Chain A
Amino acid sequence: MSELNYASINVGDELPSHVCGPITRTTLALFGGASGDHNPIHIDIDFARKAGMPDVFAHGMLSMAFLAQLLTNWVDQNRIKEYGVRFTAITPVLATVTCKGKVSEKFEQDGEPCLRVEVSAEVDDGTKTLVGDAVISCR
């Protein structure tokens, strides 16, 4: 991770992408226990089918954790002031998740120079599964 130099960062700059997965059923079982999200829709195919789904699918928060790694690979975590996403599609089991980010705005907030980074996660066929943004302090 390198120190941020606000002056040398431009709108449109891309973060190094971050590839995670493939997400196996083991990943889902471990993440269920590790995150405290025990919803059986992510780990029990019988339950998922009863709920009308063809199979289990990944926790949205697993991909949100992957996408957070895109940010913490790039800057010190304590620079992140805000981070939010919309979950735009289900992440199927065995998907590989590619996390991307791009600087979309340079602005001041509470007297601090800040960057807004647009972030997204997508699965193998290019479907975007998470779309969001983060605010990074450059103080």
Chain B
Amino acid sequence: MLDKSIVGQESPPKTVMAEPGQMKFFAKATGAVDQIYWDEEAAMAAGHPGLPAAPTYLFCLNNFAPSKGPSILAQLGVDIGRVLHGEQRFKYGKPIYAGDEITLQDKVIDAYEKKGGALQFILTETAATNQHGESVGSMTNSLVIRN
């Protein structure tokens, strides 16, 4: 049975810097051809104050931010080999640039089962702000656990 008491649970806020070297590594790993994602001069020539974070990079920052407690999946005792990514959505605020300090906070917004518990779904919303307190957007994530 899925422990529905996790719904509403908020993780302690966690902060991470958008490191330029890591962002360049991401650009390389995803085969980015647009130089603004890995060359500071090209980014500035295009009018950016620094390397911009690619549209899905907030998800990576959430992975890199040091966690201040066990993850939801760890709390539920879920085997990571049974987890699939169901959905992911981003809403954008202020752009994220290399060097920004991003603070993220996760909140579980729903948890439910389908097919008599064979599939469990956990929906999490993550709000993110920069070092100026401005929203850099939010993301929602749906994970599917195969039982």
**CB–CB B81/A51 < 8 A:** yes
The count of A-to-B residue pairs whose CB atoms sit within 8 angstroms is 106
Write out, one digit per residue, whether chain A residues 81-110 have a CB within 8 A of any chain B CB (1) or not (0).
Answer: 111111100100000000000000000000
- Chain A residues, CB < 8 A from B59: 35, 61
Write out, one digit per residue, whether chain A residues 37-65 have a CB within 8 A of any chain B CB (1) or not (0).
Answer: 10111000001101110000001111011
- Chain B residues, CB < 8 A from A127: none
Give bound CA distance, A80 to B31, whole Å.
Answer: 20
Closest to B26 in A: A34
> What count of chain A residues pass the 8 Å CB interface test?
41
Check B2 for interface membership: any CB of A closer than 8 A: no
Check B80 for interface membership: any CB of A closer than 8 A: yes
Q: State which of B31, B32, B56, B81 has its C-beta within 8 Å of the C-beta of A41.
A: B81
Give the distance to chain B from A68, nearest Cβ to Cβ, in Å.
4
Check B83 for interface membership: any CB of A closer than 8 A: yes
Closest to B52 in A: A77
Write out, one digit per residue, whether chain B residues 85-104 have a CB within 8 A of any chain A CB (1) or not (0).
Answer: 11111111001000000000
Give the distance to chain B from A98, nearest Cβ to Cβ, in Å.
14
Check B34 for interface membership: any CB of A closer than 8 A: yes
Q: State which of B29, B64, B79 has its C-beta within 8 Å of the C-beta of A27.
A: B29
Given contacts A61-B56, A71-B55, A72-B55, contact A84 B88 (CB under 8 A): yes
**Chain B interface residues (CB < 8 Å from chain A):** 22, 25-26, 28-34, 52, 54-56, 59-60, 63-64, 79-92, 95, 140
Residue pairs across A and B with Cβ atoms less than 8 A apart, 28 shown, are: A30-B25, A33-B25, A34-B30, A37-B63, A39-B80, A40-B81, A41-B80, A51-B79, A51-B81, A52-B81, A60-B88, A64-B56, A64-B88, A65-B56, A69-B32, A69-B34, A72-B55, A77-B55, A81-B91, A82-B89, A83-B89, A83-B90, A84-B88, A86-B86, A86-B87, A87-B84, A87-B87, A132-B89
**Chain A interface residues (CB < 8 Å from chain B):** 20, 27, 30-31, 33-37, 39-41, 47-48, 50-52, 59-62, 64-66, 68-69, 71-73, 77-78, 80-87, 90, 132
- Given contacts A33-B25, A34-B30, 8 further A-B pairs with CB under 8 A are A20-B31, A33-B29, A39-B80, A40-B80, A61-B59, A64-B56, A69-B30, A77-B95
